[in-house]
Amino acid sequence: MKKLVILLAVLFTANVMMAQKMDRTNAYNYNKNGQYEKAAESIEKCVNHQGFLGMKPKDQAQAWLYRGMIYLNIYQDKKLLAKYPDALEIAYVSLQNCISTDADYTKDNAQDVYSRVVAIGECYFQDGIEQFNNKAYGDAAASFRKSYDISLTGSRPDTSALENTGLAFMRGELYDEAIATYTDLKNLGYDKVDLYKNMAACYTLKGDDENSMKVINEGLEKYPGDAGMIIEKVNLYLKQGKGEEALGDLNKLQELDPNNVSILFTLGSIFGDDTHDIFDADKAIGYYTRIIELDPTYYDAHYNLAMVYITLSNQKITEANEITGASMAEIERYNKLMDESTEYLRQGLPYAKTAYEAQPSDDLKHLLKTLYVKLKMMDEAKALDAE
More confidently predicted of 96 and 253: 96
* DSSP 8-state secondary structure symbol assigned to residue 155: S
Amino acid occupying residue 252: K
DSSP H helices, the chain, are: 2-32, 36-47, 57-75, 78-83, 87-101, 103-108, 110-133, 137-151, 159-171, 175-187, 193-205, 209-222, 227-239, 243-256, 261-271, 281-294, 299-321, 328-358, 362-374, 378-385
Domain ranges for the chain: 1-108, 261-387
Confidence of residue 48 (pLDDT cuts 50, 70, 90): confident
The Cα angle at residue 167 between residues 162 and 172, in degrees rounded to 5: 125
pLDDT at residue 57 is higher than 60? yes
Q: Does position 286 have pLDDT exceeding 50, yes or no?
A: yes
Q: Which of 314, 305, 310, 309 is nearest to 358 (CA)?
A: 305
- Residue 101 makes CB contacts below 8 A (sequence gap 6+) with 57, 60, 61, 64
pLDDT digits (tens, 9 = 90+) for 97-111: 999 999 999 999 999
Please give the single-letter amino acid code of residue 386: A
Distance of CA 279 to the CA centre of its chain: 35
Q: What global pTM score does this model have? A: 0.66
pLDDT class for 120, splitting at 50, 70, 90?
very high
For residue 14, pLDDT beyond 50: no
Total Cβ atoms within 10 A of residue 89: 14
pLDDT of 3 > 70? The answer is no
Q: What is the pLDDT of residues 165-208, one digit of tens each?
A: 999 999 999 999 999 999 999 999 888 899 999 999 999 999 99
**Which has more pLDDT, 345 or 385?**
345
- Rounded to an integer, the average pLDDT of 150-159 is 84
Mean per-residue pLDDT, 203-218: 93
Share of the chain above pLDDT 90, in %: 62
Domain 261-387: give its CATH code. Answer: 1.25.40.10
> Is a pLDDT exceeding 50 seen at residue 91?
yes
Q: Give the confidence band of 28 by pLDDT, cuts at 50, 70, 90.
A: confident
d(CA 163, CA 195): 8
Give the per-residue pLDDT at 9. Answer: 38
Per-residue pLDDT, averaged over 152-170, amounts to: 90
Q: Which of 14, 66, 23 has its CA nearest to residue 45?
A: 23
pLDDT at 122 over 80: yes
Q: What Cα–Cα distance (Å) separates residue 17 from each residue in 6, 33, 35, 105, 225? A: 17, 24, 24, 19, 69
The confidence score (pLDDT) of residue 27 equals: 83
Lowest mean pLDDT among 6-15, 26-35, 66-75, 339-348: 6-15
**For 223-250, what is each residue's pLDDT tens digit?**
887 767 877 887 888 788 787 787 787 7
Residue 52 in this model has a pLDDT that exceeds 60: yes
Q: Residue 6's pLDDT is what?
A: 37
Stretch among 21-30, 201-210, 307-316, 343-352 having the lowest mean pLDDT: 21-30
Which pLDDT band, with edges at 50, 70 and 90, does 8 fall under? very low
Q: What is the mean pLDDT of the chain?
A: 88
pLDDT band, residue 124 (cuts 50/70/90): very high
* Per-residue confidence (pLDDT) for residue 249, from 0 to 100: 79
